[in-house]
């Protein structure tokens, strides 16, 4: 594979592998330790790389991404919002993965309402606002499992969670 093309598409594959590992850990009965999550993410990443580049990729590109993936998993798992989500009982997880699209998970909160969870790397520039707006539009459309009370957006780079309330948005649309 061309090194320039690989350098452009491999970070997206790495982010996808990290998100899929987090979502997979929510659905399993095993404890989601950072080491187990990192191993799962790396396996998923290697499978994705083999599928798009059967001839292989330069090792230097892979090693840099592997280190970054391990760091992303540690940050995502150690943030307070993720820790709360991973402590939820299985019965409070309404949807995961493809059944929760375009979100990563739909969970039931203490209040009994449904909340969408999304793990993403947010850009540091003006594109961040556009991405937050797009996420709010997805969440405002709701989900087939019911109306959503909020969207929890967890930044994989920083571990900061942003909760976008949606009930206020829905009420303002009804009033208009």
Q: DSSP string of 123-139?
A: PSSTHHHHHHHHHHHHH
Residue whose token pair is 């309404």: 94
Instruction: Compute CA distances 127 → 62, 88, 122, 142, whole Å.
Output: 26, 32, 8, 23
Report d(CA 123, CA 128) in Å as an integer: 5
Q: Are residues 10 and 53 in the same domain?
A: yes
pLDDT of residue 172: 44
Count of structural domains within the chain: 2
84 belongs to a structural domain: no
Query: Domain containing 138: what range?
Result: 90-175
Look at residue 21 in the predicted model and tell me its pLDDT: 93
Task: Tell me whether residue 63 is in a domain.
Answer: yes
Instruction: Kindly state whether residues 132 and 157 are assigned to the same domain.
Output: yes
* CA distances for 9 relative to 46, 55, 92, 132, 137, angstroms: 13, 16, 35, 23, 26
> Of 50, 78, 106, at which residue does a domain stop?
78
Tell me: do 68 and 104 sit in the same domain: no
Q: Report the pLDDT value the prediction gives residue 169, as an integer from 0 to 100.
A: 46
Q: What DSSP string runs through 39-89? A: HHHHHHHHHHHHHH-TT---HHHHHHHHHHHHHHHHHHHHSHHHHHHHHS-
Same domain, 71 and 101: no
Name the pairing type of β-strands 161-165 and 148-155: antiparallel
The residues that bridge with 120 in the sheet, in sequence order, are 155
pLDDT at 38: 92
Contact at 8 Å (CB) between 118 and 104?
yes
Q: Which residues have C-beta within 8 Å of that of residue 72, sequence separation ≥ 6?
A: 14, 15, 18, 41, 121, 156, 157
pLDDT in the model for residue 28 = 83
Q: pLDDT tens for the chain, 176 residues: list them.
A: 565 666 678 888 999 999 999 999 988 877 888 899 999 999 999 898 888 877 777 777 788 888 899 999 999 888 898 889 988 888 899 889 888 888 889 999 888 888 989 898 888 887 888 887 887 777 777 666 667 888 898 988 888 898 888 765 444 444 44
What tokens appear for 132 in the block? Answer: 């937050």
Q: How many Å apart are CA 103 and CA 141, to the nearest integer?
A: 12
pLDDT at residue 18, rounded to an integer: 93
- pLDDT score, position 143: 63
């Amino acid at each position: 594979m061309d090194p320039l093309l690989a350098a452009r598409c491999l970070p997206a594959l790495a982010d996808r592998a990290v998100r899929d590992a987090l979502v997979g850990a929510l659905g399993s009965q095993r404890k989601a330790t950072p080491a187990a999550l990192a191993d799962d993410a790396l396996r998923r990443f290697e499978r994705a790389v083999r599928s798009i580049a059967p001839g292989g990729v330069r090792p230097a590109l892979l090693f840099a991404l592997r280190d970054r993936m391990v760091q992303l998993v540690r940050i995502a798992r150690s943030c307070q919002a993720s820790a709360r989500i991973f402590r939820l009982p299985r019965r409070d997880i309404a949807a995961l993965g493809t059944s929760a699209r375009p979100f990563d998970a739909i969970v039931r909160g203490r209040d009994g309402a449904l909340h969408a969870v999304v793990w993403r790397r947010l850009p540091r520039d003006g594109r961040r606002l556009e991405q937050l707006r797009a996420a709010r539009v997805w969440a405002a459309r709701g989900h087939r499992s019911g109306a959503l009370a909020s969207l929890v957006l967890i930044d994989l780079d920083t571990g900061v969670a942003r909760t976008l309330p949606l009930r206020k948005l829905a009420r303002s649309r009804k009033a208009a």
